[in-house]
């Protein structure tokens, strides 16, 4: 049942309220927005609302779902009018039912603020003088903003129509190329330092559908390189923030959001829904999974990674005879040997440059432009501004082990078997109560700067886990690190050594600190 609706006629508020009735609801709250006779000192005679209906309904449904999840309400609904309204007419109605009235009130407030901020609905005011003006509908208070912080938005002169004239002027693009982009479906895995420029440029270019996969929430340490977000967004899911940004930048782009990482059980099916996938995480396990899913599904993939002032770029064509990631590196390296922004540091523009290169390669592929280095590994050095292109010999890679598809299938089968290694706990106390002994696999300096929130954990650095496998004898062990990557890799190493009673905390310590 739809929870967000656009009405061109009078809203039946009693009927809407009755839909929210539930035996578990002790509180009910409704908001009604009416057309008033003045605005900013001008006498108003009436209003007209126009909406980009398909996108408004999809985004409205998402907003109501967010409110239900965020505030734990039983149900919520929203109705927005379109067309011509008179003074005193109801323009918007929001209702929520919940076990207690406070949750219902907060959910209503969230919904009304978000629909003003995010929905492609435009308002024209008609004045008693006979004049009329389109006015912005986005000047709202958002609950997570700091007091005194204000957003400034430009009013739309009319419902937004994208202007692609600068890129269609290119001979290689034109109207035919723009139509190709509008029909394209691109999946972006990771909405961080690489993903931000990728998502922004593809949305601006007019890609028809963007899929965004990211399970992380925004941290203050992200902002120096993830410039698509604001300080008041800290703690929010990046995938949801990125979706809002796309809606604000180009409302004609359809967005699909995954707030949980893909895994071996669903990656291939998700890839098959898209024309191209762009991997933008700093997680080697995600890159290998993406490469495997790409070659099995036949979906081209663009990979990038960064290390301090350097980056790497690879295009996986996902065709017979074309190299994949495992042709380059057959075995997944340990997280310690690869490094990450957290452990190695990063200068903000570096992922921005590599992400822009990924977006450029994506548009070249979708438009059918030349890709002279598609079969190579491109090494980008932003200290001396050099780029090297190293050919990848597919014949010397997976071809020696049955080919990329067969190697990928075996790898995914192993990953499916290993999925039960990762366990989810809201608190470490819950893991202890369930009978697990905690093992901190971080480095000693990490323990000093960020101590384990509970006492009594063993300390075995991840690089030493395999050689100390004999210490994991009795009981069950839960390995813990900052993000779950090192602990997961260490648990798989121990399983390979025959130790079956070891598990990894999914998401690591960061997952325990998600705000409620």
DSSP, collapsed to helix, strand or coil, labels residue 511 as: helix
CA distance 329 to 402: 16
In the chain, what's the furthest Cα-to-Cα distance?
A: 86
Q: State which of 364, 388, 417 marks the end of a domain.
A: 417
Query: Is there a domain that residue 143 lies in?
Result: no
Looking at every residue in the chain, the average pLDDT score rounds to 86
199 part of a folded domain: yes
171 DSSP assignment: T
What percent of the chain lies above the pLDDT cut of 90?
48
Examine the domain organization and report whether 411 and 442 are in the same domain.
no
Q: Are residues 238 and 385 in the same domain?
A: yes
Is the model's pLDDT at 280 over the cut of 80?
yes
**Residue 141 pLDDT greater than 50, yes or no:** no
Asked whether residue 268 is domain-assigned, the answer is yes
286 and 226, same domain (yes or no): yes
Instruction: Place 339 in a pLDDT band, splitting at 50, 70 and 90.
Output: low
- My answer on whether 269 and 335 are in the same domain is yes
Q: Is 457 found in the same domain as 366? A: no
Range 116-128 average pLDDT: 86
Residue 154 falls inside a structural domain = no
Domain residues for 487?
Answer: 424-512
- Same-domain status, 73 and 176: no
In the listed set 115, 135, 155, which residue is the last one of a domain according to the structure? 135
Q: Among 213, 219, 193, 222, which Cα is nearest to 260's?
A: 213
Rg from Cα positions in the chain: 26
pLDDT band at 310 (very low <50, low <70, confident <90, very high): very high
Look at residue 335 and tell me if it is in a domain: yes
Q: What is the mean pLDDT of residues 470-493?
A: 84
Considering the domain architecture, whether residues 21 and 169 belong to the same structural domain is answered as no
* Percent over 70 (pLDDT), the chain: 92
Q: Report yes or no: 310 and 361 within 8 Å, Cβ to Cβ.
A: no
Interior/surface letters 12-41, b for 16+ CB within 10 angstroms, e for the rest: eeeebeeebeeeebebbbbeeeebeeeeee
CB 110 within 8 A of CB 67: yes
CATH code of the domain in which 25 resides = 3.90.1170.40
User: Is 431 found in the same domain as 390?
Assistant: no
Quick one: CA dihedral 186, 191, 194, 196, positive or negative?
Answer: positive
Domain-located, residue 267: yes
Same domain flag for 435 and 387:
no
Domain's final residue, options 417, 439, 458: 417
Write out the two tokens for 117. Answer: 């901020």
Residue 150 has what pLDDT? 40
3-state secondary structure of 339: coil
Q: Are residue 428 and residue 412 in the same domain, yes or no?
A: no
Q: How confident is the model over 231-259, as a mean pLDDT?
A: 91
Q: Are residues 123 and 212 in the same domain?
A: no
Would you say residue 145 lies in a domain?
Answer: no
Give the DSSP H or E segment for 122.
Answer: strand 121-127
DSSP 8-43: SS---HHHHHHHT--TT--EEEEEEEE--SEETTEE
Q: What is the CATH number of the domain that holds 463?
A: 3.40.250.10
> Do 101 and 190 fall within a single domain?
no
Task: State how beta strands 132-135 and 121-127 pair.
Answer: antiparallel
Query: How many structural domains does the chain have?
Result: 3
Which of the 8 DSSP states describes residue 68?
Answer: H
> Is residue 160, in this structure, part of any structural domain at all?
no
Q: Per-residue pLDDT tens for 64-100?
A: 999 999 889 999 999 999 999 999 999 999 999 999 8
Query: Tell me, what CATH number does 337's domain have?
Result: 3.40.50.720
Burial 500-512 (b: 16+ CB within 10 A, else e): eebbbbbbbbebe
Tens digit of pLDDT for each residue in 442-478? 888 888 888 888 888 889 888 888 888 888 888 888 9
The half-sphere exposure of 516 on its side-chain side, counting CA atoms within 13 A, is 3
């Amino acid at each position: 049942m739809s929870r967000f609706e656009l009405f061109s006629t009078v809203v039946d508020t009693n009927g809407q309220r009755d839909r929210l009735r539930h035996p578990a609801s002790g509180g009910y709250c409704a908001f009604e927005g009416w057309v008033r006779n003045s605005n900013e000192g001008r006498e108003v005679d009436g209003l007209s609302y126009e909406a980009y209906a398909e996108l408004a309904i999809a985004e409205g449904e998402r907003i109501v779902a967010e409110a239900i999840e965020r505030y734990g309400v039983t149900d919520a609904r929203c109705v927005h009018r379109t067309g011509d309204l008179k003074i005193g007419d109801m323009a918007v109605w929001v209702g929520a039912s919940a076990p207690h009235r406070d949750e219902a009130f907060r959910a209503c407030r969230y919904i009304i603020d978000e629909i003003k901020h995010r929905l492609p609905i435009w308002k024209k005011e008609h004045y008693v003088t006979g004049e009329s003006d389109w006015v912005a509908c986005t000047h709202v208070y958002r609950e997570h903003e700091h007091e005194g912080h204000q957003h400034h938005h430009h009013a739309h002169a009319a419902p937004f129509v994208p202007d692609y004239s600068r890129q269609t002027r290119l001979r290689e693009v034109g109207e035919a190329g723009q139509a190709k982009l509008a029909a394209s479906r691109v999946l972006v895995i990771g909405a961080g330092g690489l993903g931000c420029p990728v998502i922004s440029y593809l949305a601006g270019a007019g890609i028809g559908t963007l899929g965004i996969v990211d399970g992380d929430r925004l941290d203050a340490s992200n902002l120096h390189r993830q410039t698509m977000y604001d300080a008041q967004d800290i703690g929010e899911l990046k995938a949801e923030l990125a979706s809002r940004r796309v809606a604000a930048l180009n409302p004609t782009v359809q967005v699909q959001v995954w707030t949980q990482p893909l895994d071996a059980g669903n990656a291939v099916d998700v890839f098959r829904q898209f024309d191209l996938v762009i991997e933008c995480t700093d997680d080697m396990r995600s890159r290998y999974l993406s490469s495997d899913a790409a070659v099995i599904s036949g979906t081209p993939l663009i990979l990038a990674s960064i290390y301090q002032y350097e980056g790497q770029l690879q295009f996986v064509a996902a065709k017979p005879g074309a190299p994949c990631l495992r042709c380059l590196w057959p075995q997944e390296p340990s997280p310690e040997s690869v490094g990450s922004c957290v452990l190695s540091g990063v200068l903000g523009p570096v992922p921005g440059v590599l992400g822009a290169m990924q977006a450029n390669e994506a548009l070249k592929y979708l438009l059918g432009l030349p890709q002279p280095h598609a079969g190579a590994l491109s090494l980008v050095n932003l200290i001396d501004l050099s780029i090297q292109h190293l050919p990848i010999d597919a014949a010397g890679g997976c071809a020696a082990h049955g080919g990329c598809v067969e190697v990928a299938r075996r790898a995914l089968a192993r990953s499916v078997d290993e999925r039960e290694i990762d366990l989810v706990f809201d608190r470490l106390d819950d893991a202890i109560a369930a009978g697990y002994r905690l093992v901190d696999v971080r480095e000693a300096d990490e323990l000093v700067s960020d101590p384990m929130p509970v006492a009594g954990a063993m300390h075995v650095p991840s690089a030493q886990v395999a050689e100390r496998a004999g210490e994991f004898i009795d009981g069950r062990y839960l390995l813990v690190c900052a993000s779950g990557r090192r602990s997961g890799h260490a648990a798989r190493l121990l399983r390979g050594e025959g130790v079956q009673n070891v598990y990894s905390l999914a998401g690591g310590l960061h997952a325990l600190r998600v705000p409620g």
